[in-house]
């Protein structure tokens, strides 16, 4: 409280104002005390606003992030558990011999045919040595290494024959499409090469993958070569051909699929999951020969083999394409990735009557998310390497050009020398 005493006179003199100084001092002190008391409250409120969210929200956010990254694997694991709980549903009652092996597979490959960009094949001769290296490494080197290693594991009784065969089947499949493009882009690699190799590898894989699988594993009693290639022609080659026709000659169909791309992608994933579910229902109904310990050992071996082939591919790329860091980045993923979108239907088409088809599919279901996890981990380091290498190469070229200009002198230097000679002649004559 501030006491102000106004003393006014009846005259026209100035009005004096007397202020009680002691009261003012007390009031100012009270205001400062109030301000000091309020500051901690405001600071606490600000710190509360800047503090991290509650623990349960952080856990939920982390779970959402993990599910968004590995949703396909999580759904597949849930369906495998459901198949284990009651195998007859997917093995018998859902008529998998029609719904899974024909309808779902044909739908998947029609969409795949509409998505394969065959116009990219014209770019094959632009980087022919690199494209040949990627395809040969992906189909030949990876499959031969995994085949030899899996036979070693079988010989020492570490793995069952079915899991070892599944590892070989996985290694014989073609490159992924979307995953390679995403990782190549994030690593600063050559996207045009990624598009070509993904499209070309999937088209060639229709014929090459079954040949590699049957060449490595042999033709058993459950596999009839004539029937296998006849079914592959009807279920795989013909639907892809139809998809190509729709893409190039039926614009309304192409625009319709493009407009509802998200829904068609979801439907394609559901078909894949349905095939996986029926495959494992059949396996569980017939009985599995592999133990849980052997399955976990197979997971560890798949991780080891993926790391080995990635290191080998990176080493070869550094040697063969030394001044092409963008190609090295693309090749790291293109040489080692395997597709689950085409792999699962191919395996089901070849071994539909084999009760171990679920164990043949399992290594691919492990390799597929594992390549995403490892690729996402190394992509930032590869991107930094690409940027540094590109800068070093450009600076080296500039230095080389400047050195060549200094050595030769160039036309300006020759003109200068001629002018100097003329001046010297004139000086001598004078």
> In this structure, is the dihedral angle defined by the CA atoms of residues 103, 280, 113 and 209, taken in order, positive or negative?
negative
The model's pLDDT over 299-334, given as tens digits with 9 standing for 90+, comes to 999 999 999 999 999 999 999 998 899 999 999 999
Structure tokens at 345: 């239907």
Would the pLDDT of 10 be above 50?
A: no
Would the pLDDT of 23 be above 60?
A: no
Question: Which pLDDT score, from 0 to 100, does residue 420 have?
Answer: 47
Which of 119-123, 251-255, 396-400 has maximum average pLDDT? 251-255
How confident is the model over 80-104, as a mean pLDDT? 93
How confident is the model over 330-359, as a mean pLDDT? 89
Q: What gap in Å lies between CA 7 and CA 87, rounded to an integer? A: 103
Question: Which pLDDT score, from 0 to 100, does residue 409 have?
Answer: 53
Enter the DSSP assignment of 6: E
Whole-structure pTM value: 0.74
Nearest by Cα to 222 from 282, 281, 174, 292 = 282
Q: What average pLDDT is seen over the chain?
A: 82
Greater confidence (349 vs 21) lies with 349
Long-range contacts, 365-369 (Cβ 8 Å, 24+): 365/73, 365/76, 365/276, 365/340, 366/298, 366/299, 366/302, 367/170, 367/302, 367/306, 367/338, 368/72, 368/73, 368/176, 368/338, 368/339, 368/340, 369/70, 369/72, 369/73
Question: Which pLDDT score, from 0 to 100, does residue 400 have?
Answer: 81
Q: What gap in Å lies between CA 406 and CA 413, rounded to an integer? A: 9
| Per-residue burial over 360-378, b = 16 or more CB atoms within 10 Å of its CB, e = otherwise | bbbbbbbbbbbbbebbeeb
Would the pLDDT of 39 be above 80?
A: no
The model's pLDDT over 248-302, given as tens digits with 9 standing for 90+, comes to 999 999 999 999 999 999 999 999 999 999 999 988 988 877 888 899 999 999 9
Residue % of the chain over a pLDDT of 90? 45
Q: What gap in Å lies between CA 339 and CA 50, rounded to an integer? A: 44
At residue 170 the predicted structure's pLDDT band, cuts being 50, 70 and 90, is very high
> In this structure, is the dihedral angle defined by the CA atoms of residues 214, 216, 221 and 222, taken in order, positive or negative?
negative
Nearest by Cα to 324 from 178, 123, 127 = 127
Q: What is the DSSP string of 309-342?
A: HHHHHHHHHHHHTTT-HHHHHHHHHHTT---STT
Would the pLDDT of 34 be above 60?
A: no
Q: Which class for 20: exposed (0-12), middle (13-18), buried (19 or more C-beta within 10 A)?
A: middle
Would the pLDDT of 349 be above 80?
A: yes
- Give the side-chain half-sphere CA count within 13 A for 346: 26
Residue % of the chain over a pLDDT of 70? 79
At residue 220 the predicted structure's pLDDT band, cuts being 50, 70 and 90, is low
Q: What gap in Å lies between CA 202 and CA 152, rounded to an integer? A: 29
Asked if 169 contacts 365 with a C-beta cutoff of 8 angstroms, the reply is no
Residue with tokens 């829904």: 263
At residue 33 the predicted structure's pLDDT band, cuts being 50, 70 and 90, is low
How confident is the model over 64-86, as a mean pLDDT? 89
Question: Which pLDDT score, from 0 to 100, does residue 178 have?
Answer: 83
At residue 82 the predicted structure's pLDDT band, cuts being 50, 70 and 90, is very high
Would the pLDDT of 171 be above 50?
A: yes
Q: Which of 62-71, 166-175, 185-194, 371-380 has the lowest average pLDDT? A: 62-71
What is the radius of gyration, based on Cα positions, of the chain? 35
Structure tokens at 355: 């009760």
Residue with tokens 């090469």: 193
Question: Which pLDDT score, from 0 to 100, does residue 417 have?
Answer: 46
| Per-residue burial over 253-267, b = 16 or more CB atoms within 10 Å of its CB, e = otherwise | eeeebeeeeeebeee
Question: Which pLDDT score, from 0 to 100, does residue 22 have?
Answer: 44
Would the pLDDT of 212 be above 80?
A: yes
Question: Which pLDDT score, from 0 to 100, does residue 42 have?
Answer: 52
Long-range contacts, 48-56 (Cβ 8 Å, 24+): none
SS3 127: coil
Residue with tokens 């994933």: 269
Question: Which pLDDT score, from 0 to 100, does residue 351 have?
Answer: 86
Q: What gap in Å lies between CA 314 and CA 387, rounded to an integer? A: 17
Would the pLDDT of 386 be above 60?
A: yes
Asked if 341 contacts 268 with a C-beta cutoff of 8 angstroms, the reply is yes
Q: Which of 130-139, 358-367, 407-416 has the lowest average pLDDT? A: 407-416
């Amino acid at each position: 409280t501030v006491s102000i005493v106004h003393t006014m006179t009846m005259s026209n003199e100035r009005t004096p104002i007397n202020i009680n100084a002691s009261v003012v001092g007390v009031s100012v002190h009270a205001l400062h005390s109030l301000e000091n008391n309020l500051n901690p409250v405001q600071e606490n409120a600000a710190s509360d606003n800047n503090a991290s969210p509650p623990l349960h929200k952080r856990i939920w956010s982390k779970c959402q992030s993990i599910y968004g990254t590995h949703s396909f694997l999580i759904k597949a694991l849930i369906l495998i558990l459901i198949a284990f709980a009651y195998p007859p549903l997917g093995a018998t009652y859902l008529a998998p011999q029609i719904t899974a092996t024909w309808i779902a597979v044909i739908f998947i490959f029609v969409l795949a045919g509409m998505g394969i960009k065959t116009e990219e094949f014209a770019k094959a001769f632009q980087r022919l040595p690199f494209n040949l290296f990627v395809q040969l490494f992906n189909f030949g080197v990876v499959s031969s290494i995994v085949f030899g290693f899996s036979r070693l594991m079988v010989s020492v009784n570490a793995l069952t024959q079915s899991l070892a065969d599944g590892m070989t089947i996985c290694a014989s499949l073609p490159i992924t499409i979307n995953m390679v493009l995403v990782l190549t882009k994030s690593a600063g690699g050559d996207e045009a090469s990624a598009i070509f190799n993904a499209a070309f590898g999937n088209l060639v894989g229709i014929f090459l993958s079954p040949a590699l699988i049957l060449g490595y594993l042999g033709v058993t009693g459950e596999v009839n070569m004539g029937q296998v290639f006849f079914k592959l022609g009807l279920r795989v080659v013909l639907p892809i051909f139809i998809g190509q026709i729709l893409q190039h000659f039926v614009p309304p169909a192409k625009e319709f699929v493009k407009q509802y791309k998200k829904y068609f992608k979801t439907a394609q994933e559901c078909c894949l999951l349905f095939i996986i579910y029926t495959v494992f229902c059949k396996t569980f109904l017939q009985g599995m020969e592999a133990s849980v310990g052997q399955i976990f050992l197979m997971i560890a071996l798949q991780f080891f083999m993926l790391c080995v082939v990635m290191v080998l591919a990176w080493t070869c790329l550094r040697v063969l394409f030394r001044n092409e860091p963008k190609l090295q980045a693309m090749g790291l993923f293109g040489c080692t990735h395997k597709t689950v979108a085409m792999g699962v239907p191919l395996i089901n088409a070849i071994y539909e009557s084999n009760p171990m088809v679920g164990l043949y599919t399992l290594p691919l279901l492990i390799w597929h998310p594992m390549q995403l996890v490892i690729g996402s981990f190394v992509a930032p380091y590869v991107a930094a390497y690409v940027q540094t290498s590109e800068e070093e190469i450009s600076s080296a070229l500039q230095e080389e050009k400047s050195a060549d200009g200094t050595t030769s002198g160039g036309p300006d230097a020759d003109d200068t020398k001629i002018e100097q000679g003329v001046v010297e002649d004139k000086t001598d004559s004078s």
